[in-house]
Chain A
């Protein structure tokens, strides 16, 4: 009986302790107690330090990017990042620090990029990221101006003779999970009434290997990525990207909700590169514009009005640094995707509005 008593007592103590823990855990919810702090006037949790001041204190920008997509974000064998998206990271760094290399690119997978941004491990995502409503709202992102208008496409073998979607009746299609492409594929094939077999992989490499081995008749992802990956296939000329576009994929930078100054800064750095192209200013000839009389150019170059201070940067020539160090939109495009690269991607929608595209920046005024 003695042991029974012991157990009972243990049980009672246990129950009490558990009750106390539960009570302790519940109480903060019931009534918010003052946060323990040695400073009496502790700042409200909502008022966090602005992203710009964090970046300036750190001395470099942390940009969440891609390391696997040649042309957009790619880590070369010497450990350097290059690509269209990376150049926009460099542009933002140039605007803030006057030095495009004050930058750390943090490579991330499609799945983890938003988590990394929300947790504050990075300052901006520039990683071929599609602007969608649920990402804008549910995920708490703010999307900057679209830097690259893309669309989902399909790559097939030339010998298959496929030209349109209905030609793919009964085909197997390799697709990558965790992206919007999986849904677009299902939607578009259903709309066209075409039956197909989806073969879903977790990453780019496996998906393209399976396609190349003939497991799939077609592979689908953003057209720019298809072009980029086509160059890595063993016989790129044997494959063709179909005309059909399955979706709209506006790619651009994304920042956290709630810091409007930082959002404005990212926006206007992107716009500055577009305005520079429009005005014919590039990294080579910018010095000759320093004496320009055109008020629009003078405002861009910080000679008239102090527009950089409106986004929190003291240096009035912040956009000059962007253009000098990284270039205008056309330079960034051509350096990474243009005719002199292996991709030779036509500008298409990504031409200036004056050339039939939809790249259109609001004025600096």
Chain B
């Protein structure tokens, strides 16, 4: 007796859902790969036929021949294109790093202000967020550059603040420490201080575990490092000498000059990104259930303690992932520097070097690769942090 169940009959392949699924996936892969290969081979043949140029990176070791306005490392026109590329990269890195630090601080303050029960404070924060979140960054940058920093007095009539700090439309000149011979020794002393601080922290923690009363660990750490640093500073013959800027010739000389372009870019990026970070922070804080706050108050914690010890640690879990996106945005947005004349990676590599060498494919590959690595590095660090603070579920 043979009964054939419907399930045992193999349907024709064109009605088999599993096979159809595979076929459609293969088709999509073929189309995507085919398109990619088409564009790639088109590019290669275009380069070969039209310009008889093959892809090569050897030009990077040729002399650059142009000057860059500001650089964190020693650079002159005799150096190579690669060196110029690195100068641009470091400038991007500098503005991105400082931007992230300042925007985070400002964003947290505004995000907390936004939730304040004080009507005026919460309104101020709301107005700030709504204004800066809704203006395109490019507009904001050009506004800062042309309407704020370029409108400062000319360098000859610069505002002089005590210090002296010179404020002019060339930028901000501030006094700056110049390392002397003993600077290296002082750094070693400082590292020793940090190690000592770590030991102190460990001992205090152990004591805290025994007695059940946790002392102010962070404060003690700072005190230890500062004390060691202070002793080092006194004992060693002046590790740093303060160089003061002075007006000489066309520009201020000496000290540290934060150029007008740098300041405009940094302010634009910070103010814009801080508005987004503030919203992220607000959302994070609001995600913590009301019961937590009530319980904390019931236990007699002050408002500040509640925020610092109860609300914020829990809010962080919600805040970190979107915050990472904001950090990535800030780094990538720094490429708008080209609009205001700051020599960042894109301005130096994507414009000057590219124009001089005509090596579009090579330069853009390098630029994209570099931004990609910067972004991946940022998200890697943030993901590590995220993993550490994540709620451990048992």
Is B355 part of the binding interface, using a Cβ–Cβ cutoff of 8 Å? yes
Residues of B within 8 A of A202 (CB): 338-339, 341, 347, 351
Nearest to B249 among chain A residues (CB) is: A170
Are A140 and B25 in contact (CB-based, < 8 A)? no
Q: Given A17-B30, A178-B351, A182-B66, do A200 and B343 touch, yes or no (CB 8 Å)?
A: yes
Residues of B within 8 A of A314 (CB): none
Question: What's the interface size class on A, roughly?
Answer: 35 or more
Contact of A13 among B26, B38, B347, B352 (CB under 8 A): B26
Are B29 and A214 in contact (CB-based, < 8 A)? no
Is A78 part of the binding interface, using a Cβ–Cβ cutoff of 8 Å? no
Are A168 and B37 in contact (CB-based, < 8 A)? no
Residues of B within 8 A of A217 (CB): 250
Are A177 and B347 in contact (CB-based, < 8 A)? yes
User: Shortest distance in angstroms between A335's beta carbon and chain B's nearest beta carbon?
Assistant: 33
Residues of B within 8 A of A190 (CB): 76-77
Question: Whole-angstrom distance between the alpha carbons of A138 and B358 in the complex?
Answer: 9
Question: Whole-angstrom distance between the alpha carbons of A171 and B248 in the complex?
Answer: 10
Residues of A within 8 A of B260 (CB): 215
Are B67 and A25 in contact (CB-based, < 8 A)? no
Contact of A200 among B50, B77, B169, B352 (CB under 8 A): B352
Contact of B66 among A10, A22, A171, A186 (CB under 8 A): A186
Question: Whole-angstrom distance between the alpha carbons of A178 and B68 in the complex?
Answer: 14
Residues of A within 8 A of B347 (CB): 177, 200, 202
Contact of B41 among A25, A138, A197 (CB under 8 A): A25
Question: Whole-angstrom distance between the alpha carbons of A179 and B66 in the complex?
Answer: 11
Are B26 and A10 in contact (CB-based, < 8 A)? yes
Question: Whole-angstrom distance between the alpha carbons of A201 and B341 in the complex?
Answer: 5
User: Shortest distance in angstroms between B83's beta carbon and chain A's nearest beta carbon?
Assistant: 14
Contact of A21 among B34, B65, B341, B355 (CB under 8 A): B34
Residues of B within 8 A of A285 (CB): none
Per-position binary interface string of chain B over residues 333-351, scored 1 when its CB falls under 8 Å from any chain A CB and 0 otherwise: 0000011110100010001
Is B305 part of the binding interface, using a Cβ–Cβ cutoff of 8 Å? no
Within B54-91, the residues touching A (CB, 8 Å) are 65-70, 76-77
Residues of B within 8 A of A177 (CB): 347, 351-352, 355
User: Shortest distance in angstroms between A341's beta carbon and chain B's nearest beta carbon?
Assistant: 30
Is B390 part of the binding interface, using a Cβ–Cβ cutoff of 8 Å? no
Are B68 and A198 in contact (CB-based, < 8 A)? yes
Residues of B within 8 A of A9 (CB): 22
Are A10 and B22 in contact (CB-based, < 8 A)? yes
Within B315-348, the residues touching A (CB, 8 Å) are 338-341, 343, 347
Residues of A within 8 A of B41 (CB): 25
Are A213 and B250 in contact (CB-based, < 8 A)? no
Question: Whole-angstrom distance between the alpha carbons of A202 and B22 in the complex?
Answer: 51
Question: What's the interface size class on B, roughly?
Answer: 35 or more
Within A176-191, the residues touching B (CB, 8 Å) are 177-179, 182-183, 185-187, 189-190
Is A6 part of the binding interface, using a Cβ–Cβ cutoff of 8 Å? yes
Are B250 and A168 in contact (CB-based, < 8 A)? yes
Residues of B within 8 A of A21 (CB): 30, 33-34, 37
Within B119-164, the residues touching A (CB, 8 Å) are 146, 150-151, 154-155
Are B341 and A178 in contact (CB-based, < 8 A)? no
Residues of B within 8 A of A238 (CB): none
Residues of B within 8 A of A18 (CB): 29, 33
Is B253 part of the binding interface, using a Cβ–Cβ cutoff of 8 Å? yes
Residues of B within 8 A of A10 (CB): 22, 25-26
A6, A172, A179, A187 — which one has the most chain B CB atoms within 10 A of its CB?
A: A172
Question: Whole-angstrom distance between the alpha carbons of A13 and B69 in the complex?
Answer: 56
Question: Whole-angstrom distance between the alpha carbons of A183 and B77 in the complex?
Answer: 9
Nearest to B261 among chain A residues (CB) is: A199
Q: Given A172-B250, A209-B146, A210-B150, do A6 and B22 touch, yes or no (CB 8 Å)?
A: yes
User: Shortest distance in angstroms between A41's beta carbon and chain B's nearest beta carbon?
Assistant: 22
Is B114 part of the binding interface, using a Cβ–Cβ cutoff of 8 Å? no
Is B170 part of the binding interface, using a Cβ–Cβ cutoff of 8 Å? yes
Is A111 part of the binding interface, using a Cβ–Cβ cutoff of 8 Å? yes
Is B373 part of the binding interface, using a Cβ–Cβ cutoff of 8 Å? no
Are A170 and B69 in contact (CB-based, < 8 A)? no
Within A115-157, the residues touching B (CB, 8 Å) are 118, 138-140
Are A209 and B253 in contact (CB-based, < 8 A)? no
Is B356 part of the binding interface, using a Cβ–Cβ cutoff of 8 Å? yes
Is A344 part of the binding interface, using a Cβ–Cβ cutoff of 8 Å? no
Question: Whole-angstrom distance between the alpha carbons of A171 and B67 in the complex?
Answer: 14
Nearest to A218 among chain B residues (CB) is: B250
Is A14 part of the binding interface, using a Cβ–Cβ cutoff of 8 Å? yes
Residues of A within 8 A of B210 (CB): none
Q: List 21 A-B contacts (CB under 8 A).
A: A6-B18, A6-B22, A17-B26, A25-B41, A140-B51, A172-B170, A177-B351, A177-B352, A182-B66, A182-B352, A187-B65, A197-B69, A199-B69, A199-B261, A202-B347, A202-B351, A209-B146, A210-B150, A210-B341, A214-B169, A215-B169
Ordered nearest first, which 9 A-B pairs have the shortest CB separation? A214-B154, A171-B250, A170-B249, A213-B150, A178-B355, A198-B67, A186-B77, A186-B67, A201-B341
Q: Which of A's residues lie within 8 Å of B, judged by CB? A: 6, 9-10, 13-14, 17-18, 21-22, 25, 111, 118, 138-140, 160, 168-172, 177-179, 182-183, 185-187, 189-190, 196-202, 206, 209-210, 213-215, 217
